[in-house]
Chain A
Amino acid sequence: MSDILLSIENLETCFRTPEGTIHAVNGVSMKLEPGETLGIVGESGCGKSVTMLSILGLIPNPPGKVVAGKALYRGQDLLKMKDSEIRHVRCSEIGMVFQDPLTYFNPVLTIGRQVSEPLEVHRSLSHKEALDQTVEMLELVGIPRPKERLNDYPHQFSGGMRQRVMIAMALICSPQILIADEPTTALDVTIQAQIVELVKSLRDRLGMSIIWITHDLSLIAGLAQRMAVMYGGFVIEEAPVEDMYAAPQHPYTLGLLGSLPRLDDVQGRKLVSIEGLPPVLFKKPTSCPFAERCNFRIERCNLENPSLRLVDKCHRVACWVNPETRRENQ
């Protein structure tokens, strides 16, 4: 448990826009151990995807820029790497699956070409060898008759099948880490379940670590060991999944979980929604970013931005409010 595979420290990413600089990620830190699955949860625009794209150097610059922080992969800082070095980390060490399997595939290239491409780049295989491995990989992710489908184009696959192909593409070079950026958001519920099951079985088989980004809390429960909740470009709570569901600490997490229906709910309980909208951060917040929408707000919340503090074994939360107060109000 001691060695850390990926360690992100105080990552900050900004986007320069005509309206001003948007601070999308404001000092995110997280760690990933070998074989571990980490779930990252948060509303749209809270910086989940930007964090992941930042560590792989995939933020389009301009307008985006990583302004501070480190991303240590096996002790090496990904953010300091030259273009040629980081290229060999992408896909080869850290594979990425994206949200919408249609728009993230190139429409004019065949599936065989797109899935086998990383092998030719990172493993220096010939096209034919690469295609053979591609067939195996497609079979592994559950594409029927993979050999015949190599020459098909993305639009000839169904949504679920496309996402399977995308997973095959991300895993083709057997990376150590799989980053899944809302891979099930664009799929319907039954297909979602299939994809989650597929990723679980692949994890058991290939043993990679997974960072699973989602805004679907129910999905994380059965999949991840640990989860981090993000808000306004910060990690505001981080805990093992069981702790998080059993004893959420941050008012935002409470709100998120309160907005979910539960099987053990008292009948007639109203689902709670969080009032207001997530902030657009034109300057780096000096107060708690959630303060405006928080029901437990105290004076200190408007003055200082809390950092993550350990509240329990492995359970960290960024909030000024006394845990007792929060629990009473729950």
Chain B
Amino acid sequence: MLTYIIRRLLLLPIILTSVTILIFAMMSLLTPYERASLYVSDIPKQSGALEGIIEKYGLDDPAPVQYWYWLVGRTDPETGEIKGGVLRGNLGWSKTGKGDVAEVIGRRLPATIELALWAGIPMIAIGVWLGVLSAIHHNRLIDQLLRVFSIVGYSIPVFVFGLLVLLIFYARLDWFPPGRLSDWAAQIVQSNNFTSYTRMYTVDALLNGRLDIFWDAFIHLVLPVITLAYLNWAYLLRVTRSSMLDILRQDYMTTARAKGLIENVVIRRHALPNALIPVVTVGALTLIGLLNGVVITETVFNYPGMGSFLSEAALSLDVVSVLGFTLFASFILVAGNLFVDVLYGAIDPRIRLE
């Protein structure tokens, strides 16, 4: 197992270097003038401002040199101070977020993690459970009902489903509001009496012993969680179901039954671990997708996470923010894939011991 993990880790630098080169290449598609203009708000009035910035930041240096500066930072010739450097966590200045890109991501991330955890865990648990249920009752009533349920979920676009639940549960019934907190709760959260440990409001509220704030944060989460969970249930259910059906047809299921095991044990011990191998990939990648922010869902529910930040940045042509976000997202994706690989090895000895 250890050598397996080490081998996976050795691949990491190669993948990450490729990712940075790719993203740098995307950035280099802009001319030095275009890039300089991102930092100057009133170009027509200040003649020579662009040239000054190009000179100052070396934007007309050869591409490999610029890549190096972008990666490790560049010493300012006047002050001797090191500036920039992706490796030092400096992703540039975000116009949209009015701060360092890294800092903006740090500010938006807790909200996204909170949503991802609330949606992700029940989503995977229930999705897998429904899939197994559907498979072991293959072609019976419950299977047919679950298939309808999943096909509907699979085919409704997020924005339709999101707007629909918003219409019913907010506009009509006024049960679950959009956003992240009510105004009164937001005031308390920002006051000095409330300690922000994680910036995830449900967790912080519990740590501060404020059940009213927990409840407020929770009812704001309900609609986006339902939307994300339903659409992903549909997918996980289908993957689990087909994988499980495939496993139930395997010869070793007969062996397990021929040993006189109870059907429950046959399913749990002999079928499930095998059936979960493909589900792990899908489940983990869905979770990673949630961690990177869900653009449409966050936008529909006005939820201030990574996804809505990305859409704001993209709409105002904030190239630096979008690329900074892309870099961050790729890191999460690479880390997530590593996690999936390790998980794979943990479940399947044929991969671990190959």
Contacts and interface: CB of A to CB of B under 8 A. Distances in A.
Partners in one complex: yes
Interface of A: 53, 56, 58, 62, 83, 87-92, 95-96, 98, 100, 103-110, 117-118, 121-122, 153, 155-156, 169
B186 to A, nearest CB: 49
Nearest to B263: A83
Given A58-B257, A104-B254, 4 more contacts: A91-B260, A106-B274, A109-B269, A155-B353
Contacts of A89: 260
A56 B255 contact: no
Contacts of B260: 87-92, 118, 121-122
B259 A153 contact: no
Nearest to B269: A109
Interface in B316-354: 347-350, 353
Contacts of A105: 252, 255
Contacts of A58: 254, 257-258
A107 B350 contact: yes
Interface of B: 139, 250-252, 254-263, 269-270, 273-274, 347-350, 353
Nearest to B256: A106
B259 A100 contact: no
Contact of A98 (B255, B270, B349): B255
| 5 tightest Cβ-Cβ pairs between the two chains A and B | A90-B260, A103-B251, A153-B349, A87-B260, A106-B252
A213 to B, nearest CB: 14
Contact of A109 (B254, B270, B353): B270
Contacts, number: 74
Contacts of A53: 254
Contacts of B353: 153, 155-156
Contacts of B347: 108
B258 A56 contact: yes
Of A53, A95, A106, most B-chain CB atoms within 10 Å: A106
Contacts of B269: 109
Contacts of B274: 106-108
A262 B251 CA distance: 35
A91 B348 contact: no
B81 to A, nearest CB: 56
A87 B286 CA distance: 40
Nearest to B274: A108
A91 B258 contact: yes
Nearest to B272: A108
29 contacts: A56-B258, A83-B263, A87-B262, A89-B260, A90-B258, A90-B259, A98-B251, A98-B255, A104-B252, A104-B254, A105-B252, A106-B252, A106-B256, A106-B270, A107-B274, A107-B348, A108-B273, A108-B274, A108-B348, A108-B349, A108-B350, A109-B269, A109-B270, A110-B349, A121-B259, A121-B260, A153-B349, A156-B353, A169-B255
Contacts of A88: 260
Nearest to A100: B251
Given A108-B349, A153-B349, A117 B259 contact: yes
A103 B250 CA distance: 7
A103 B252 contact: yes
